[in-house]
Amino acid sequence: MKYKDSIIRVAKQTVQTECDAIKNLIPLIDDEFAEAVSYIYNSNGRVVVTGIGKSANIATKIVATLNSTGTPAIFMHAADAIHGDLGIIQEHDTVICISKSGNTPEIKVLVPLIKNGNNKLIAITSNKESYLGIQADYVLHAYAEKEACPNNLAPTTSTTVQLVLGDALAICLLDLRGFSSKDFAKFHPGGALGKKLYLRVNDLASVNQKPKVLADSSVKDVIIEISKGMLGATAVVNDVEEIIGVITDGDIRRMLADNDFIGDLKAHNIMSSNPKRIANDAMAVEALEIMENNGISQLMVEDEGRYAGIVHLHDLVKEGIL
């Protein structure tokens, strides 16, 4: 391709420019950042995040991150705010205003209105000496020396550092709240991510067949049970439903390859003893880890030491866990 080398060069320069800007944020995270986070943590209201242009796009993402990690937040477009949406801000809310320059006309109109409501104002800006920076109660310094754009015009590096600071703020609040994976699952019930956090082994095994044979069952009975269960395996249990072994399709094939006469063989002759197993209330993602670590596709499921079924790798694939 004619322009391949140029494309690769420009792409790498863009990534490097933004990487450098992110690294430069580290020394800018100071006591004022900590005080802003502490204020939000101790407040009784929501976080209202506002901005205009590309900063407004970043604001919507920060709102989504805050909401999903335990901090109630809402987006307010800066232009709409001065045309009726200012009512979004309630008495105890904290307002975060995002602006690279801190001097845009909409921001200059909006800031006094926020201050008149006695709401605390947190600025995320590249220019601490801007109108926004001076008026804000706390300033998160989103300094960006230059945009990745060769004309130094298109918001690229500046929006990246805004986003990173928003993530840092959200994760600090998450940490202060002791927000756990169980809490996270409450806000992410859909999709593969949610299922990894809440789906349990029993949710999968309970809808499968529950193939099982006794140790002295005939090979014919074993084959019928495996075929009926459609899981490629059957558990071998004792009289009190404890798992003592497993027989898979592979075990049947090996038996046929090694024996010319199978009429006298029983389940205990061909089973694998002490198979890998998991509790029915364990997380489905734990089942996947056991399967991957042991190179198996079926896992025996127990309920208080008794056979409760089989979970198959295909179940995990089907649910999007893998």
Q: Which residues are annotated as a binding site?
A: 77
Q: How far apart are CA 264 and CA 59, in angstroms?
A: 73
Burial 271-282 (b: 16+ CB within 10 A, else e): beeebebbbbeb
CB 219 within 8 A of CB 300: no
The region that residue 204 occupies, defined by phi over 0 for left and psi between -120 and 50 for alpha, beta otherwise, is alpha
Other CB atoms closer than 10 Å to residue 27's CB: what's the count? 9
Calculated CA dihedral for residues 227, 231, 233, 236, nearest 10 degrees: -90
Tokens of 252: 């049947």
33: closest CA among 161, 123, 111, 101? 123
CA–CA dist 156, 89 (Å, integer): 29
Task: Detail the residues annotated as belonging to a binding site for Zn(2+).
Answer: 77
Half-sphere exposure of 63 (CA within 13 A, CB side): 22
Looking up tokens 């095994």 gives 205
